[in-house]
Amino acid sequence: MKEHSTRLALIGLLADGQFHSGEQLGVALGMSRAGIAKQIKIIQQWGLDLYSVQGKGYCLAAPIELLDSQRISELVSCPQLELIPVIDSTNQYLLDQVGQLPSGAVCLAEYQQAGRGRRGRQWQSPFGSNLYLSTYWRLEAGVAAAMGLSLVVGVAIAETLQQFGAPDIRVKWPNDLYCHDQKLAGILVEMTGKAGDAAHLVIGMGLNIAMPTVATNMIDQAWTNLSAACSPLPSRNVLAATLIDRIHQTLTEYEAVGLCGFVERWNKIDNFLNRPVKLLIGERVVEGIARGINEQGALLLETDDGITAYVGGEISLRGC
């Protein structure tokens, strides 16, 4: 963290979206102009869209609202909230502390150096553009009761974003949010625990808010930003606090009623409900019509042979 303090201070100065000369930045940070130029190159590698104009200095392509842990803590009651601006992975950070955390502990980041998605894929995590949030939850009912948890969290996030003025947000089985058939967010649930014991869950979310195209060269599917779905955009801090609160409420509700209490809510906002889809199961491709989910969280796929329930894992769903 200490090695990043100068870079974070530099980003703080540039966050207003105005031009700042290298000399001005150097004076503010006690560095030479050459030192500033070196730091600028590093923060550009973090995915910040930044201009350099001779005679004017440096400027972000757009202002950014940096996350503020104090502001978020004022808006939501949370047993433990940590904001670590630069981190490998918010999920991994919490997984490394399982057993030492209070249930409901949250970790937020501005930039993930090793963010990951489902099935070990890399999650693109440019600085300050999106929302990277993980929460730890102790599920007393055990590992078996955690089936379908990504669906429940997906419903909670989608409904929250709709209430912020993005009515076209939908869920995609088993762990994504979509808008106009483009990926907006992903959810990653990881767990530890022994049979007969409580399940220790870490639920991570990556939500695209205003991700610059320069940071997306490695993304292999259509994606979108909340900025394209919601106008005006909510404050990142208010959004973070609201999502934390809603996720905690939803997990408490899930413990009480299970997945059956969410099936109707899921089907109401299912992006592919009653649409032709294909399931990629290893080398096998199964095509049919998506008919929502059942009370076990399985995808219901209708083919000429009838309706079959498919459980998550190594299955990917694609539109036809």
Q: Which residues are annotated as a binding site for biotin?
A: 89-91, 112, 116-118, 183
Q: In this structure, which amino acid lies at residue 234?
A: P
Q: How far is CA 106 from the centre of its chain?
A: 13
Annotated binding site: 89-91, 112, 116-118, 183
Contact between 263 and 254 under an 8 Å Cβ cutoff? The reply is no
Instruction: Establish whether the linkage from the previous residue to 212 is cis, with ω within 30° of 0.
Output: no
118, 170, 172, 291: the active-site residue: 118
Classify residue 173 by burial, with Cβ atoms within 10 Å: 0-12, 13-18, 19+: buried
Residue 265 designated active-site: no
7 is catalytic: no
The one catalytic residue among 33, 138, 183, 278? 183
Whether 291 is catalytic is no
Q: How many CB atoms lie within 10 A of CB 131?
A: 20
* 307 close to 318: Cβ distance less than 8 angstroms: no
Sequence-separated (6 or more) residues with CB below 8 Å from residue 91:
116, 134, 188, 190, 202, 204
Catalytic residues: 118, 183, 318
